[in-house]
Chains A and B, each alone.
Chain A
Amino acid sequence: AQSVAQPEDQVNVAEGNPLTVKCTYSVSGNPYLFWYVQYPNRGLQFLLKYITGDNLVKGSYGFEAEFNKSQTSFHLKKPSALVSDSALYFCAVRITGGGFKTIFGAGTRLFVKA
Chain B
Amino acid sequence: GAVVSQHPSRVICKSGTSVKIECRSLDFQATTMFWYRQFPKQSLMLMATSNEGSKATYEQGVEKDKFLINHASLTLSTLTVTSAHPEDSSFYICSAGTPVNEQFFGPGTRLTVL
Contacts and interface: CB of A to CB of B under 8 A. Distances in A.
A104 B44 contact: yes
Contacts of A44: 44, 93, 105
A44 B6 CA distance: 13
Interface in A31-56: 32, 36, 41-46
B107 A43 contact: yes
Interface string B5-30: 01000000000000000000000000
A28 B49 CA distance: 21
Contacts of B110: 41
Nearest to A45: B105
Contacts of A96: 101
A46 to B, nearest CB: 8
A43 B43 contact: no
Contacts of A36: 105
A100 B101 contact: yes
Interface residues of B, number: 23
A103 interface: yes
Contacts, number: 49
Majority SS at the chain A contact face: strand
B43 A107 contact: yes
Given A100-B103, A105-B43, 15 more contacts: A36-B105, A41-B91, A41-B110, A43-B6, A43-B106, A44-B93, A90-B44, A99-B49, A100-B97, A101-B34, A102-B34, A102-B46, A102-B103, A106-B42, A109-B41
Interface in A66-92: 90
A58 interface: no
Nearest to B95: A102
A113 interface: no
Contacts of A101: 34, 46, 49
Interface in B33-76: 34, 41-44, 46, 49, 51
Interface string B74-108: 00000000000000000101010100010111111
